[in-house]
Amino acid sequence: MYALALIRTFQAGLKSLRLHKLRSGLTMLGMIIGVGAVIALVAIGEGASHDAQEEIRALGAKNVIIRSIKPPSMREQMHGDWESFFRRWMAFYGLKRTDATRIKDTVPGVSRVLPMLTKRMNAVHDRREVGCQLIGTFPYYPEFTQAEMVAGHFLNTAEENTKASACVISLSLAERLFAGHNPLAEEIVVRGYESEQVFQVKGILRERADIEKLPQLPGSMGQTIAANVYIPLSTFKSLYGERNVDRSVGNLVLEAVELSEIRVEFDTVEDVLPALPLIDEALKAGRDERDFEIVVPIQEMVALRNQKARDTRMLLYIACISLLVGGIGIMNIMLATVTERTQEIGVRRALGATRLNITVQFLVETLLLCLVGGAIGVSGGWAFAEFREFLTGDSTIVKAWSVIMAFGLSVLIGLVFGLYPARRAAHLDPIEALRHA
């Protein structure tokens, strides 16, 4: 019986709100904007963080990436003396193969180490020539980077052992170099400053896209350039020497890097963080300058997660403020409504309504304003998020908790800000209220 009475009260509430459509709409506007903003912003934030986490996961949560960087002394301006000139012009720095073996031998929990050599070259096929990155690496490279084969196979152990002139090219290079026809078993020429080598294409590799979109990660030495040619590490060494001398034409810079990158894979994610000081220790041996950097995807992930939590909290604060403002607006209108309907309140009291009846009646009206506003806000925010995903292609994720929270907050706001006007209505003196014109 009470349930039915409550339903009737809701119906009556809807009726009085419909009586003043414009006013009800304007009153709900604050709520609609507040709730819509929460839904849309949370969805966009979740989507962005989802994308970023996917990208970091692509680098491998169990991995640590060590990259060669120019040490500070070589980045200095030339001082006019021969030593500084020489250090800049003929720069020898970076990771060595011994570093890779030392890490493998001394750091516990390391399952595999993937050394990588890179060189800036041009790939030529037919009359097309495309700037590319030549990468010498081991057969298990795709597993490390979650890259997948589109066609053919990746370099295998046999090719590694025989120093074969085999290569795997990235999908985007294949598209640019072969323009539609099948590159498998075709030959490409890799042309450098003073060399020209022929490789047979064994496979096409699709790398994890968008890695360069990560602003937290410094540009890696080659993987971000989508035009990649992968060859066996042994082939690379025998063709281009022990020291990978990278000459950039026109720059008059002669740099020598033995390994441009070492990727370290651990057995489990838990092994990664405790091992970081040990990796540092292993690399420090035999160095007087820090000519490497360590990128830890799992750390980036944790940092990103923390940042996301901060961002979400911020959004919630903003949302709470806008809902508060919306709630005050609603309370203001409800107070005006109570004044406007004083006589009706008096009549209802005379006809047997208790104070509780009146309180419930006005509380329900406020609640309805908030709920309807909340519902419009949720659908509006949702639609906005979907529309943005459609426009920009960035994923947006409407979280169930944000919908529940937005609704919960609407109800809470309705109850809190509806209670005062409702109680004021209920405590009007029926005699005075009846006399009110």
Partner 1 sequence: MADRNIIEIRNLTKIYDLGAIQVPALKGLNFEIEEGSYTAIMGPSGSGKSTLLNILGCLDRPTAGAYILGNDDVAHMSDKELSGVRGARIGFIFQSYNLIQQLNVIENIHVPLFYQGKDISDYYDHCEKLAQKVGLGDRLDHRPMELSGGQQQRVAVARSLVNEPLMLLADEPTGNLDSTTEQEILDILDELHAEGRTLLVVTHDDAVAERASRVIHLKDGQVDKDIRKQDSDRKSENQFQEA
The reply on whether position 356 binds partner 1 by CB under 8 A is yes
Cα distances from 197 to residues 48, 112, 122, 187, 235, in angstroms, run 42, 30, 11, 10, 11
CB-nearer residue toward partner 1: 323 or 367? 367
CB-nearer residue toward partner 1: 19 or 249? 19
CB-nearer residue toward partner 1: 263 or 348? 348
Q: Shortest approach of partner 1 to residue 331 CB, angstroms?
A: 21
Residue in the block written with tokens 């209802």? 348
What residues contact 234, with CB distance under 8 A and at least 6 apart? Answer: 160, 161, 163
CB-nearer residue toward partner 1: 8 or 23? 8
**By CB under 8 A, what part of segment 329-348 binds partner 1?**
343-344, 346-348
416 burial type by CB count under 10 A (0-12 exposed, 13-18 middle, 19+ buried): middle
The reply on whether position 3 binds partner 1 by CB under 8 A is no
The reply on whether position 165 binds partner 1 by CB under 8 A is no
Cα distances from 14 to residues 1, 21, 376, in angstroms, run 20, 10, 15
* Residue-by-residue DSSP string for 253-269: EEEEESBSEEEEEESSG
**By CB under 8 A, what part of segment 42-81 binds partner 1?**
none
CB-nearer residue toward partner 1: 111 or 343? 343
Which one of residues 189, 324, 411, 434 is an interface residue with partner 1 (CB under 8 A)? Answer: 434
Would you give the DSSP letter of residue 270?
Answer: G
34-42, 178-186, 254-262, 355-363 -> range binding partner 1 (CB under 8 A): 355-363
The reply on whether position 1 binds partner 1 by CB under 8 A is yes
Distance CA 397, CA 301 (A): 18
- Closest listed residue to residue 70, CA positions, set 99, 98, 91: 91
In terms of phi and psi (left: phi > 0; alpha: psi -120 to 50; beta: otherwise), the region of 301 is alpha
The reply on whether position 197 binds partner 1 by CB under 8 A is no
Which one of residues 37, 166, 262, 353 is an interface residue with partner 1 (CB under 8 A)? Answer: 353
Which one of residues 252, 351, 391, 400 is an interface residue with partner 1 (CB under 8 A)? Answer: 351
Encode 168-197 in three state secondary structure: EEEHHHHHHHHCCCCCCCCEEEEECCCCEE
The reply on whether position 430 binds partner 1 by CB under 8 A is yes
The reply on whether position 431 binds partner 1 by CB under 8 A is yes
| SS3 category, 122 | strand
CB-nearer residue toward partner 1: 286 or 352? 352
Q: In this structure, are residues 68 and 99 in contact, taking their beta carbons and an 8 Å threshold?
A: no
The reply on whether position 350 binds partner 1 by CB under 8 A is yes
Q: Shortest approach of partner 1 to residue 363 CB, angstroms?
A: 16
The reply on whether position 6 binds partner 1 by CB under 8 A is no
CB-nearer residue toward partner 1: 380 or 430? 430
Distance CA 59, CA 146 (A): 8
The reply on whether position 16 binds partner 1 by CB under 8 A is yes
The reply on whether position 19 binds partner 1 by CB under 8 A is yes
The reply on whether position 349 binds partner 1 by CB under 8 A is yes
15-23, 126-134, 275-283, 288-296 -> range binding partner 1 (CB under 8 A): 15-23
Which one of residues 156, 172, 357, 379 is an interface residue with partner 1 (CB under 8 A)? Answer: 357
Tokens of 424: 């004021």
435 burial type by CB count under 10 A (0-12 exposed, 13-18 middle, 19+ buried): exposed
Which residues of the shown chain bind partner 1 in the complex (CB under 8 A)?
Answer: 1, 4-5, 8, 12, 15-16, 19, 343-344, 346-357, 430-431, 434, 437
